[in-house]
């Protein structure tokens, strides 16, 4: 399949208008020693019919969790994606457009992002949101950098109840030397306040609290906030956006920076990406937040309009002084989240959150009755781990029935509950645990 | 004037039907606890589905995509986004996969990732690729982190600086700073290429590497690339390739053959995945053999007749992102590469270069072209004539193009050229389109001569006129608030 | 372009007015003109100890950002807080609106600065380079 529109005759005419005969003449500036002397060794081109066959076959080699009862969570959730959202995202003005650097013809994109920013602020109760970052983990890394720059300190205290991949990404980002994460073991499934407190007093730039944490449990956020603020550091909260429909949001806890993974808001599982990192901060941090920001203004005729603003923070202006190098973000995923939130509305989102929680509570009770207690006895939102030495064989049993079980972790299995699950799914899950 | 969704909010009567959970109701004050609960109602907008769909449909009509028209943005490669790619990424068997599913249930996905990595190696002349970075800048960060890890592993701790050309894209020096390096600029010579003498004088035992784009941001091929590579390597540094301009050379030359140690590619540029209004992109990073141990984990490798995710690389820099990369974007690039094949990719580059030279040739009588010789897939024109005669700037010309229904080229970049207009007409544009664009540019040049005030006041026919960016930056309003006046 | 004759200048386009052991620091007309409309000024902290050559403030416009470097070491005694609410004052009155006042540790450091004539020449050369 080719998408080049000119015929050979037209190509020839174009060459001749330049005083050339052969297209290779346009590459005379490439030294011979560097030019390829053979064709690219790639599979031959395909027609659309053949491509469809190929991709269909590749897709058929997979078992899509989204089409089966799925209890896997751990940072990616099988949420329901409304049909209207799928259709709206197919509009090519949204997905084939570029970054809105020319605001006069991009008002639709800019307004969409402005609305997204507002919704993130509404969910998190923070003052300023950016237009998105790559995902929850990189948003957290950017938050740590921001905290280090703002406080002029480097130490960032991170309880080991955060997602293990968050930990890995922080370790990699710390290679820059801009911040130093210190990880605190938390044997009880929630933050060990004493251990955290000792470290924080040591000139910490920030304390990271994932809430709910990797194991699905609620952290002692109030105490954590007091502790880090007294030590002169910032509170960074990493949150599940769906949980904010019923849980107290970061702003109300006094967080300075709120980040998280926005995938559950209308973005497909997609084998891990593209997802959606969000970041929102308090007003004093506005001029330091990384990423693009859309602002409201007026035009020559005093009409309301939107533009990318505060660009002097960004890479294309600050260059070697920039705190972040982010250029392309996850704009379309952010738009998807905004459309999702609009379609659900405040009451719909709350209903979804409650449904997830209710299903989780039911499952936990039934599993406990079946002899599988919580790994950590703590309150949870829509995810928790149960004790079992046998997670592998339970999952195999489930797979035979067309069910995707939870994540095998040390000592047990981490189970997540989305609005797509049913009582029946859970009953079959419990049966599989019991060996039936 | 366009209303915000919040301004349309009413207590809506029809809502998403969420079926009630068929289990016992729960008292959250007991299961969660008062102190953890949200106070008050969620302030999100409340509209019914019809209004929601109308709202976003209206927004889409105030946007402009490649499907609407020509987008000659230099360094962005705004080529057509094939719809077969979009179809593929939405297949439930690809879009519905959880990243932590058992490996035997995602073999098709792993195959796509593995093969894409192999083909990117072939296209760029590198030995191994990681598809983990989520964007070009993210790929740059990954690559420069590997440079840092490489020198550290060799015990060479004194290399604290990275060189970038003065024509470099802003992400290059920003990346170096983000990874903890100092940045020194290398001058361009009077031909617009890296000044070899300046480069040599700046190399030394404190230089970790040089970041280059080739062709560079002026659209010119760095003819001395082999000499540059020799100089950098002799001084102990590494050579990094910013793949933003790869569309100029596919099938004709490969960065791996030019001496580059690390490359990143932009799937959303060269490989036709859509820009989405600013993202998501994907910035895979490829390396030569001596750096493969440092690549992020996990790596997709074949084991017998299966693919696995291998984390066993103790020297790896770790993870730059959660999970494996922007898989949904990778599927689109995979489909694109299979659609075109090697011959098709080569033709794409050849046609892109033809288009750029064609437009340059036809614009050169009205617009000053500082480096008016054979260019690659993009070139830089300027508003010099227009500025000198009537103080009409590159910005004014760009805004006038909006009235003609075009997205303007990149303006004021690269920084080393005043009043720059960086023009990249991708290979998916027909000659008729190019001729129309040239005609529009000539009309604007004429207007700049005869009626400069008209050009300076552009755009006149868009939904908003020029916006007050100073006000937006001085008194930022970055969210809607209930008490706000419209 | 204005170049007052009672000030000293740096090659980063700052001006300095010396009053005893106090140095008053600002940016020049050349600087504000090339930056364009200034939208934000990040002032130094009061009582901060600063070193010769250190970036003490940041000036942002819509299209650019510039660090303001102090040519003298010392302690920041005063900052011009009106720039926080009205950064455009730097465009309007670059020489009347100081950024910071520094109590100098070593007043002889001012000997390195340019005279008004030397600065004017310097600006002419910079203009030529920019083409």
Q: What is the pLDDT of residues B461-483, one digit of tens each?
A: 999 999 999 999 999 999 999 87
Band the pLDDT of A359: cuts 50, 70, 90.
Answer: very high
Give the nearest chain B residue to A109 (CA atoms): B63
Number of domains in chain A: 2
Hey, of B420, B474, B475, which one would you mutate to test binding to chain C, going by the most C CBs within 10 A of its CB?
B474
- Residue B418: helix, strand or coil by DSSP? coil
| Residues B92, B77: Cα–Cα separation, whole Å | 29
CB B434 within 8 A of CB B355: yes
Identify the burial level of B116 via C-beta atoms within 10 angstroms of its C-beta, where 0-12 means exposed, 13-18 middle and 19 or more buried: buried
- Considering the domain boundaries, does residue A8 fall inside one? no
Q: What is the CATH number of the domain that holds A423?
A: 3.90.1150.10
- Considering the domain boundaries, does residue A44 fall inside one? no
Give yes or no: residues A90 and A209 share one domain: yes
CA neighbor of A328 nearest in space, from B462, B379, B274: B274
Q: How far is CA C38 from the centre of its chain?
A: 14
A313 or A96, greater pLDDT? A96
| Averaged confidence pLDDT in chain A | 95
Report percent pLDDT > 70 for chain A. 100
Beta partners for A156?
Answer: A181, A206
The predicted structure's pLDDT at residue A328: 82
| N-term to C-term CA, chain C | 17
CATH level 3 topology of C8-130: OB fold (Dihydrolipoamide Acetyltransferase, E2P) (2.40.50)
Give yes or no: residues A91 and A112 share one domain: yes
- Considering the domain boundaries, does residue A362 fall inside one? yes
CA neighbor of C69 nearest in space, from C33, C122, C130, C28: C28
Contacts of C61 in chain B (CB under 8 A): 473
Q: What value does the mean pLDDT take over residues B66-87? A: 96
The predicted structure's pLDDT at residue B486: 44
Beta partners for B71?
Answer: none
Give the domain-ending residue among A295, A322, A338.
Answer: A338
* Entry pTM: 0.95
Residue B369, token pair as written in the block: 């072209």
Give yes or no: residues A394 and A287 share one domain: no
- Considering the domain boundaries, does residue A5 fall inside one? no
- Tell if the CB–CB gap between C65 and A317 is shorter than 8 Å: yes
- Tell if the CB–CB gap between C64 and A287 is shorter than 8 Å: no
Give the strand order in the sheet containing C14-19.
C8-9, C14-19, C22-27, C100-104, C74-79, C49-50
| Residues A120, A103: Cα–Cα separation, whole Å | 22
- Tell if the CB–CB gap between B38 and A245 is shorter than 8 Å: yes
| Residues B440, B406: Cα–Cα separation, whole Å | 9
- Report the relative pairing of strands C14-19 and C22-27 from DSSP bridges: antiparallel
CB C13 within 8 A of CB C31: yes
Give the nearest chain A residue to C59 (CA atoms): A312
Can you tell me which residue has the tokens 């009155």?
C93
- Distances from the Cα of A373 to the Cαs of A44, A387, B32, in angstroms? 56, 6, 18
Give yes or no: residues A352 and A320 share one domain: no
| Averaged confidence pLDDT in chain C | 91
Range of the domain at A153: 85-338
Is residue A113's pLDDT more than 80? yes
Contacts of B104 (CB under 8 A, 6+ apart): B306
Is residue C78's pLDDT more than 90? yes
Q: What is the CATH number of the domain that holds A108?
A: 3.40.640.10
Can you tell me which residue has the tokens 């969420």?
B18
| Residues B239, B260: Cα–Cα separation, whole Å | 5
Q: What is the pLDDT of residues A40-49, one digit of tens each?
A: 999 999 999 9
- Tell if the CB–CB gap between C65 and A287 is shorter than 8 Å: no
Chains touching chain B through at least 3 C-beta pairs below 8 angstroms are A, C
- Nearest chain A CA: its distance from C86 CA (Å): 16
**Of B19-23, B188-192, C4-8, C74-78, which gets the smallest average pLDDT?**
B19-23
Q: How far is CA A6 from the centre of its chain?
A: 41
| Residues B402, A367: Cα–Cα separation, whole Å | 63
Band the pLDDT of A366: cuts 50, 70, 90.
Answer: very high
| Residues A329, A130: Cα–Cα separation, whole Å | 10
Contacts of B18 in chain A (CB under 8 A): 348, 351-352, 355, 419
Report percent pLDDT > 90 for chain B. 91
Q: Judged by CB atoms within 8 Å, which residues 51-90 of C form the interface with B? A: 60-63, 87-88
| Residues B432, A128: Cα–Cα separation, whole Å | 46
Report percent pLDDT > 90 for chain A. 92
Hey, of A101, A285, A297, A312, which one would you mutate to test binding to chain C, going by the most C CBs within 10 A of its CB?
A312
- Tell if the CB–CB gap between A58 and B94 is shorter than 8 Å: yes
- Considering the domain boundaries, does residue A50 fall inside one? no
- Considering the domain boundaries, does residue A58 fall inside one? no
- Tell if the CB–CB gap between B179 and A102 is shorter than 8 Å: no
Q: B39: which DSSP letter?
A: P
Cβ pairs bridging A and B (under 8 Å): 676
| N-term to C-term CA, chain B | 10
Is residue C129's pLDDT more than 80? no
CB A206 within 8 A of CB A234: yes
- Report the relative pairing of strands C49-50 and C38-42 from DSSP bridges: unpaired
- Tell if the CB–CB gap between B105 and A98 is shorter than 8 Å: no
| Residues B399, A49: Cα–Cα separation, whole Å | 42
Give yes or no: residues A262 and A386 share one domain: no
Q: What is the pLDDT of residues B234-274, one digit of tens each?
A: 999 999 999 999 999 999 999 999 999 999 999 999 999 99
Q: What is the pLDDT of residues B123-170, one digit of tens each?
A: 999 999 999 999 999 999 999 999 999 999 999 989 999 999 998 988
- Tell if the CB–CB gap between A312 and C65 is shorter than 8 Å: yes
The predicted structure's pLDDT at residue A311: 81
Residue A140, token pair as written in the block: 């957290």
The predicted structure's pLDDT at residue B16: 63
Q: What is the pLDDT of residues A201-210, one digit of tens each?
A: 878 999 999 9
Q: What is the pLDDT of residues B358-414, one digit of tens each?
A: 999 999 999 999 999 999 999 999 999 999 999 999 999 999 999 999 999 999 888
Is residue B13's pLDDT more than 80? no
| Averaged confidence pLDDT in chain B | 95
Give the domain-ending residue among A315, A338, A361.
Answer: A338
Contacts of C37 in chain A (CB under 8 A): none
The predicted structure's pLDDT at residue B15: 65
- Considering the domain boundaries, does residue A173 fall inside one? yes
- Distances from the Cα of B378 to the Cαs of A343, B123, B214, B348, in angstroms? 42, 20, 12, 14
Q: Domains of chain B, with CATH numbers?
A: 5-60 (no CATH), 84-340 (3.40.640.10), 348-471 (3.90.1150.10)
Give the domain-ending residue among A271, A306, A338.
Answer: A338
| Residues B430, B33: Cα–Cα separation, whole Å | 64
The predicted structure's pLDDT at residue B165: 95
Give yes or no: residues A322 and A416 share one domain: no
Q: What value does the mean pLDDT take over residues A132-158? A: 96
Q: What is the sign of the dihedral through the CA atoms of A88, A91, A96 and A101?
A: negative
Instruction: Count CA atoms within 13 Å of residue A405 on its CB side.
Output: 26
Band the pLDDT of B415: cuts 50, 70, 90.
Answer: confident
| Residues C49, C44: Cα–Cα separation, whole Å | 10
Contacts of C67 in chain A (CB under 8 A): 321
Is residue C32's pLDDT more than 60? yes
- Nearest chain A CA: its distance from B349 CA (Å): 10
CA dihedral B46, B50, B53, B58 (to 10 degrees): -100
Residue B169, token pair as written in the block: 């894209």
| Residues A410, A412: Cα–Cα separation, whole Å | 6
Q: What is the pLDDT of residues B265-277, one digit of tens each?
A: 999 999 999 999 9
- Considering the domain boundaries, does residue A383 fall inside one? yes
- Nearest chain A CA: its distance from B96 CA (Å): 5
- Report the relative pairing of strands C38-42 and A407-409 from DSSP bridges: unpaired
| Count of beta carbons in the 10 Å neighbourhood of residue A434 | 14
Give yes or no: residues A191 and A264 share one domain: yes
**CB contact C18 to A (< 8 Å):** no
């Amino acid at each position: 399949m080719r998408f080049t529109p000119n015929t050979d005759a037209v190509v020839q005419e174009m060459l001749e208008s330049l005083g050339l005969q052969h297209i290779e003449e346009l590459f005379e500036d490439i030294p011979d020693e560097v030019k390829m002397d053979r064709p690219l060794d790639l599979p031959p081109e395909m027609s659309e019919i053949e491509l469809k066959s190929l991709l269909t076959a590749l897709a058929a080699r997979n078992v899509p969790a989204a089409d089966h009862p799925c209890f896997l969570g751990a940072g990616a959730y099988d949420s329901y994606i409304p049909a209207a959202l799928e259709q709206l995202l197919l509009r090519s003005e949204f997905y084939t457009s570029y970054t809105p650097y020319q605001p006069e013809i991009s008002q639709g994109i800019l307004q969409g992002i402005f609305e997204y920013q507002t919704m993130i602020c509404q969910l998190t109760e923070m003052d300023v949101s950016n237009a998105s970052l790559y995902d929850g983990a990189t948003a957290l890394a950017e938050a740590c950098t921001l905290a280090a720059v703002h406080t002029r300190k480097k130490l960032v205290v991170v309880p080991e109840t955060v997602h293990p991949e968050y930990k890995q990404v922080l370790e990699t980002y710390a290679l820059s030397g801009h911040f130093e994460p210190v990880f605190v073991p938390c044997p009880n499934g929630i933050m060990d306040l004493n251990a955290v407190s000792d470290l924080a007093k040591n000139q910490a730039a920030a304390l990271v609290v994932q809430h709910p944490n990797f194991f699905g449990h609620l952290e002692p956020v109030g105490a954590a906030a007091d502790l880090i603020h007294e030590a002169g550091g910032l509170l960074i909260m990493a949150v599940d956006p769906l949980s904010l429909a019923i849980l107290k949001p970061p702003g109300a806890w006094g967080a300075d920076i709120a980040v998280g993974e926005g995938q559950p808001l209308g973005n497909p599982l997609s084998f891990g990406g593209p997802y959606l990192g969000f970041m929102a901060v308090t007003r004093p941090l506005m001029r330091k937040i990384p990423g693009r920001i859309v602002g409201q203004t007026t035009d020559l005729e005093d009409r309301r309009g939107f533009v990318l603003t505060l660009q002097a923070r960004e890479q294309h202006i600050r260059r070697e002084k920039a705190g972040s190098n982010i250029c392309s973000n996850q704009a379309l995923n952010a738009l998807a989240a905004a459309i999702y939130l609009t379609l659900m509305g405040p009451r719909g989102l709350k209903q979804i959150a409650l449904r997830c929680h209710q299903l989780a509570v039911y499952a936990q009770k039934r599993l406990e009755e079946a002899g599988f207690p919580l790994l950590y006895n703590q309150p949870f939102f829509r995810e928790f781990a149960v004790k079992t030495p046998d997670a592998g064989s339970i999952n195999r049993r489930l797979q035979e029935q067309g069910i995707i079980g939870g994540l095998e972790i040390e000592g047990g299995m981490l189970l997540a509950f989305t609005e797509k699950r049913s009582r029946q799914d859970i009953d079959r899950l419990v049966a599989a645990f019991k060996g039936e | 004037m366009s209303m915000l969704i919040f301004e349309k909010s009413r207590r809506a009567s029809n809502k998403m039907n969420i079926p009630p959970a068929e289990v016992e109701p729960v008292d959250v004050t007991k299961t969660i606890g008062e102190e953890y609960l949200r106070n008050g109602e969620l302030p999100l907008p409340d509209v019914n589905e019809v209004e929601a769909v109308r709202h976003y449909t209206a927004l889409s009509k105030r946007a402009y995509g490649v499907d609407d028209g020509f987008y000659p943005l230099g360094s962005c490669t705004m080529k057509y986004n094939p719809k077969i790619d979009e179809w593929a990424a939405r297949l439930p068997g690809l879009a519905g996969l959880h990243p932590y599913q058992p490996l035997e249930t995602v073999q098709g996905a792993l195959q796509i990732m593995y093969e894409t990595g192999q083909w990117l190696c072939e296209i760029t002349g590198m030995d191994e690729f990681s598809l983990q970075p989520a964007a070009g800048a993210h790929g740059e960060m990954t690559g420069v982190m590997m440079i840092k890890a490489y020198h550290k592993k060799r015990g060479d701790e004194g290399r604290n600086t990275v060189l970038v050309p003065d024509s470099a894209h802003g992400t290059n020096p920003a990346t170096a700073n983000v990874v903890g390096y100092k940045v020194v600029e290398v001058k361009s010579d009077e031909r617009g290429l890296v000044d070899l003498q300046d480069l040599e004088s700046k190399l030394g035992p404190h230089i970790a590497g040089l970041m280059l784009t080739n062709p560079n941001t002026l659209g010119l091929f760095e003819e001395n690339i082999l000499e540059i590579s020799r100089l950098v390597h002799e001084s102990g540094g590494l050579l990094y390739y910013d793949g933003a301009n790869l569309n100029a050379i596919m099938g004709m030359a490969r960065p791996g053959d030019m001496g580059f140690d690390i490359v990143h590619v932009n799937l959303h540029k060269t490989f036709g995945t859509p820009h989405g209004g600013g993202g998501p992109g994907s910035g895979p990073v490829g390396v030569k053999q001596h750096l493969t141990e440092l690549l992020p984990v996990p790596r997709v490798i074949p084991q017998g007749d299966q693919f696995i995710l291998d984390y066993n690389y103790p020297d790896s820099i770790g993870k730059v992102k959660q999970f494996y990369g922007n898989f949904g974007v990778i599927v689109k690039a995979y489909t694109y590469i299979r659609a075109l094949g090697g011959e098709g990719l080569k033709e794409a580059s050849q046609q892109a270069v033809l288009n750029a030279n064609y437009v340059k040739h036809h614009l050169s009588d009205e617009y000053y072209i500082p480096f008016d010789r054979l260019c690659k897939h993009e070139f830089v024109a300027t508003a010099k004539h227009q500025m000198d005669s009537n103080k009409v700037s590159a910005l004014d010309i760009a805004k006038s193009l909006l009235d003609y229904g075009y997205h303007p080229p990149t303006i004021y970049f690269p920084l080393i050229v005043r009043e720059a207009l960086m023009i990249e007409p991708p290979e998916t544009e027909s000659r008729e389109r190019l001729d129309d664009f040239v005609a529009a540019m000539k009309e604007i040049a004429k207007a700049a001569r005869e009626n400069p005030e008209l050009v300076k006041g552009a755009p006149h026919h868009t939904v908003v006129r020029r916006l007050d960016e100073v006000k937006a930056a001085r008194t930022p309003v970055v969210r809607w608030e209930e008490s706000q006046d419209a | 372009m204005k170049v007052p004759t009672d000030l000293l200048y740096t090659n980063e386009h700052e001006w300095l007015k010396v009053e005893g052991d106090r140095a008053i620091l600002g940016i020049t007309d050349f600087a504000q003109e090339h930056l364009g409309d200034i939208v934000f000024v990040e002032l130094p902290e009061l009582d901060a100890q600063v070193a010769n050559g250190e970036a003490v403030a940041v000036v942002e416009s819509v299209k650019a950002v510039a660090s303001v470097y102090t040519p003298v070491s010392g302690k920041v005694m005063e900052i011009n807080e009106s720039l926080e609410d009205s950064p455009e004052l730097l465009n309007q009155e670059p020489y009347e609106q100081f950024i910071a006042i520094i109590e100098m540790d070593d007043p002889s450091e001012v000997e390195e600065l340019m005279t008004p004539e030397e600065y004017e020449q310097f600006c002419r050369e910079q203009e030529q380079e920019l083409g």
